[in-house]
């Protein structure tokens, strides 16, 4: 069966993170989106999340010379006015999930948003389209050994298990990444019908 993205030729999903690729691949297959995966470490831009996502996508499109999807993930703590946000990778590298939890020790408010920003461009010098998936939750003492990154300290709203305690399939039904991918799928479906 042909994927909905076929009208664009090969769309490359560019990421240097195998965990993100694995999740995206599962969700995209389930929704009949055909893409090729390309492991590519892009520059680490600084700025607001939308700026970072757009810059990464433009860079990837200039390297691939064709349609690309890039992804940037933020973990925004309400008590810290959105930090660590798009810099969570670096906070996690230095502090680990336990340190992320300890960042909020002095705050009563432990609420947070897991945010996936997908960026799609048809190629170099083309418009970048952004798709945001958000899952609300709170930061808790790390629990669980599934998943990757900060999954063990993020408890999604309405769940009694962290991302890292959920099965791969359970996480994929509620994740911020899934929400963004479904928005992208809808956009590609509409473009292909035009």
Residue 22 neighbours by CB distance under 10 Å: 14
CA 47/CA 91 separation, integer angstroms: 16
For 146, which DSSP code?
Answer: S
Residues in the chain: 194
Tokens representing 50?
A: 């939308």
Please name every residue paired with 29 in a beta bridge, in sequence order, or none if there are none.
none
Tokens representing 64?
A: 């691939």
Strands (E), the chain: 12-15, 36-39, 68-77, 84-85, 111-121, 128-139, 154-156
The binding site comprises 44, 56, 72-73, 148-151, 171, 176-177
The binding site for ITP comprises 56, 72-73, 148-151, 171, 176-177
The binding site for Mg(2+) comprises 44, 72
């Amino acid at each position: 069966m042909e994927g909905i993205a076929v009208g664009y030729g090969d769309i490359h999903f560019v990421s240097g993170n195998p965990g993100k690729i694995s999740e995206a691949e599962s969700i995209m297959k389930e929704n009949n989106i055909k893409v090729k995966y390309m492991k590519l470490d892009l520059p680490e831009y600084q700025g607001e999340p939308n700026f970072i996502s757009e810059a990464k996508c433009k860079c990837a499109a200039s390297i691939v010379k064709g349609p690309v999807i890039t992804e940037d993930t933020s973990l925004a703590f309400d008590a810290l006015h959105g930090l660590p946000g798009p810099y969570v990778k670096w906070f996690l590298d230095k502090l680990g999930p336990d340190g992320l939890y300890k960042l909020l020790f002095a705050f009563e408010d432990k609420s947070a948003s897991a945010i996936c920003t997908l960026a799609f461009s048809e190629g170099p010098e083309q418009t970048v389209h952004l798709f945001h998936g958000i899952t609300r939750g709170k930061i808790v003492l790390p629990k669980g050994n599934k998943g990757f990154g900060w999954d063990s300290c993020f408890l999604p709203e309405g769940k009694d298990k962290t991302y890292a305690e959920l099965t791969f399939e359970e996480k994929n039904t509620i994740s911020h990444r899934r929400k963004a991918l479904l928005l992208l799928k809808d956009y590609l479906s509409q473009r292909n019908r035009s």
